[in-house]
Chains A and B, each alone.
Chain A
């Protein structure tokens, strides 16, 4: 699975522009662990190796236990291991990511609105939408995960 092209070198201006959106979200007030869990789940759905590697690493650095991380994909089946806010964010992340199939139905919106206020939900939606763009860039060009580089294959 060789990298097709390095868009970060070819188009640094575009990467920087998306980076400003990322920077905005980081200072939006949303909890960083919550955001990284969302980024991880979106990247799982889309199948982004580079992003899974990055956000798993970030979550470990932030103190999330590997026992919890390994169950992000099946968060609905593990009781209260994930908090109410985490569960609501993950559900919203799933429906917004799979937009072509779901159309983001009212029932999902109502559930998310029950937990998050309007601004939080707008920020969360921006974060999910941004990660969908990042995933598409990395998947399209088969960006090499850091773990692969570190293993020096």
Chain B
């Protein structure tokens, strides 16, 4: 780190800063200028810059390296590609995950799986354990819901992503899902993240409602540090002063994360806007900005959905969106499921 002293800092103040840095294990490169002294602290020690910022006479402490290591592109320059069966997330192909917010019934899950498969999705999404803002809202079908989702995914040759809310659910959800999702509200549930680090199943980590990109990458670091290197990130909108949309989808997070990290980044335009009529625009923007994938809520009868109906697309809207994405992706050198699969005879 670089410690910039105040213009009027005394020799004693500079000495106290150096003494603290030496004690922390840093080597010092001091440079006394006409107006201010700059102290370079070099070493492998990671230290809390605030410990230095609090010392008398310190103007500013600048950190040179990121606090996260395994998630950093400095650590691993090439992109991470996560393989889930024949689906590769983080490669050239933009992977679309779609399906209902929650599993509600076998029929509903089956209809949604058939619809998203027909449109070209590779992964079925669907929650069995739902974190809801209100304890009185529908909480999910649990294990029964997982069985419905797995069955529908298998029938339509789709992979399955489902949310895990707490450590005790990991072993159950692992049995059914191909990707474990950590929701925005759990992004800083460090016990859960540590336990997911021990899992072998890929994890999609959503960005917290008010999380900075650095906090988000530090949360990914918890999973990576535990030994699970198959982590993808998911931008799902952050809370801002704007109230027209449910959240403000941070499209700029895509290039920023791709610069800072090697992990794939998925975008959730459904939660990102909270409004069905805005989902397609943001999905197109996300693909154009270089997202590695999308996760979109699709419901065959959204007006009667038990959760997130307002942001769930009708299958016809989703079809149209996929057709548009097939035009956008090649423009930036990416591919996306080329033909609607129905024409290839996958559909039942």
Chain B associates with chain A:
no
Q: What is the interface of chain B, defined by CB distance below 8 A to chain A? A: none
Q: What is the interface of chain A, defined by CB distance below 8 A to chain B? A: none
